[in-house]
Amino acid sequence: MGSSCHIKSVYNEKMRIINKTSGKTLSELAVQTKNMLEKTLGLIGREPQALILRTHFGIHTLGMKYPIDVLILDKRHHVVALKENLKPNRIFLWNPQYDFVIELPKGTIEKTHTKIGDILSLPASS
């Protein structure tokens, strides 16, 4: 009961992500992981949505049924790496000095014209 309750409460907190460079909204309904279990599960078994997490170690789409877009940010929330259409059962690695990760529904990067160097506005708790 404990773990699923924590996951559910996190997914009820809705956060907005804006590309300050372009003025485009990447998500009105982003959620943030709060513990290791939520980071490990990510979007597995969930509908595509924006997910904010912190990790230096890369992400995976093992067990997922749909592709996602991924943004990697530095401490000042500049986009330093991105991956469009990361297919299921793949691993995505980046320079481990960066630990802000945003998983997005497929097509978000293209639709919002987000690119390396853009600055994103994230919730204060990120």
Model pLDDT for residues 59-80, shown as the tens digit of each residue: 888 888 899 999 999 999 999 9
Give the mean model confidence (pLDDT) for residues 22-38: 79
69: left (phi over 0), alpha (psi -120 to 50) or beta: beta
- Residue 52 has a pLDDT of 87
Give the mean model confidence (pLDDT) for residues 76-100: 95
Domains of the chain: 2-121 (2.60.120.1140)
**R_g of the chain computed on alpha carbons:** 13
Query: Are 19 and 120 spatial neighbours (Cβ–Cβ below 8 Å)?
Result: yes
Q: Tell me the pairing of strands 120-121 and 79-86.
A: unpaired
Q: Is the pTM of this model over 0.85?
A: no
5 — pLDDT class (breaks 50, 70, 90) = very low
114 — pLDDT class (breaks 50, 70, 90) = very high
How far is it, in rounded angstroms, from Cα 17 to Cα 122? 5
- Residue 51 has a pLDDT of 86
Query: Are 57 and 94 spatial neighbours (Cβ–Cβ below 8 Å)?
Result: no
Q: Tell me the pairing of strands 68-73 and 79-86.
A: antiparallel
